[in-house]
Amino acid sequence: MHARTLALLAGVLALCCLGYLTLGARAGWDFILPFRAPKLAALLLVGASVSTATVLFQTITNNRLLTPAIMGFDWLYVLLITATVYMIGGFALADLPPLLVFGLTSLIMVAASLLLFGTLLLETRQDLIRMILTGVILSGLFRAGNGLLQRMIDPNEFSVIQVASYARFNAIDTDILPVAALLTLLALAAAWQMRHRLDVLSLGRDAAINLGEDPRRGYLQVLVVVAVLVSVSTAFVGPVVFLGLIVAAIAHVLTPVPYHAVLLPCAALVSMITLVGGQTILERVLQLSTPLSVIVDVVGGAVFILLLLGSLRP
């Protein structure tokens, strides 16, 4: 039953990929492919990262309204990059090997998010609205802090961070692709490895303990994976606030089961379809110059408000 849904989604995704590679191509394959294939790969990676991070996050917070992006993870990453440039200089940063930079920023990101969201998520879990509001405000704080630091940086070095701080699916920097792909695949594999334990964790703290699962350890592991996935996707395309929310909500509708073995691939497929299909339509068919993230933000904001209002009905 769900296998058919997944197969169907995979088919749609294949079509989207084909469309992305071929539509509007005025030159031969050997010319087009080196241009479009890495971008396609990046879109697929980002899609899988965002959806997986969101599903994991929603599992440990036990709420379908929360996503790492709404809680400010994305902007925290951008702020970390800016702070690094501010401290060691943009050119020094650009000179370092990308793998090292990536590994280091991901490490700091993991530590920072464990510190911040670990205390936030694991200690007080009753007052949901207050927590979401905290996340939104933190997100704004990171954003404003980032803006402030950017102004304090030498304009020449500023260009280094500008790449990191706004979502641009149509101008993806593919230099970091191999590193990012490796990290993402590792994190995705870790998430897949955890799929049965995630099913247990999603039952809530007490049930998890009864079934022999240490929730605290599970939550921490999940947060680590989430932090890595967020770092990778934000490094590629910048902050996308509502993508994860939308695709997780769609996945829950398409495959209404609590099993992560179904949910994770379904959300990933929906997410990749959204990105690749959306980008194909936007760039090649409608020929709009707006980044996809802007449209996702408009639609996602509305979806969020509707979900929030819907969740209040008894």
Partner 1 sequence: MASPGRAFRIGLVLVAALSVWSIFTGVIDLTPAQAFGEPGGLALIASSRAPRTLAVLITGAMLAVAGAVMQVILRNRFVEPMTIGTGQGAALGILIASFLIPGAPLVVRMVFATLTALAATFLFLAIVRRLPPTQPLLVPLIGLVYGGLLEAGMTFIAYQYDMMQYIQTWVSGEFSGVLLGRYELLWIAAAVGAALYLIADQLAIAGLGRSMAVSLGLDYGQVMGLALLAVAVVVSLTVVTVGMIPFVGLLVPNIVSRRYGDNLRRTLPLVALTGAGLVLASDIAARLVRHPFEVPVGTIFGVLGAVFFLVLLYARPRHAR
CB of 156 to partner 1, least distance (A): 13
CB of 242 to partner 1, least distance (A): 9
Which of 199, 245, 301 minimizes the C-alpha distance to 73?
245
| DSSP H helices in the chain | 2-22, 29-61, 73-88, 90-95, 98-113, 119-123, 128-152, 155-162, 177-193, 195-201, 205-210, 215-237, 243-254, 260-280, 292-312
Residues 294-313 interacting with partner 1 (rule: CB under 8 A): 294-295, 297-298, 301-302, 304-305, 308-309, 312
3-state class (DSSP) for residue 283: helix
Provide the 8-state DSSP code for 27.
S
Q: How far apart, in whole angstroms, are the C-alpha atoms of residue 189 and residue 154?
A: 40
The residue type at 114 = L
- Whichever of 141 and 209 has its CB closer to partner 1, that residue is 141
CB of 58 to partner 1, least distance (A): 17
Q: Does 41 bind partner 1 (CB under 8 A)?
A: no
Q: Does 112 bind partner 1 (CB under 8 A)?
A: no
- Ramachandran angles phi, psi of 125, nearest 5°: -120, 15
Choose the binding region for partner 1 from 137-145, 177-185, 199-207, 231-239 (rule: CB under 8 A): 137-145
Residues 226-285 interacting with partner 1 (rule: CB under 8 A): 241
Q: Count residues contacting partner 1 (CB under 8 A)?
A: 34
Q: Does 141 bind partner 1 (CB under 8 A)?
A: yes
Q: Does 136 bind partner 1 (CB under 8 A)?
A: yes
Q: Which of 18, 115, 130, 196 binds partner 1 (CB under 8 A)?
A: 130
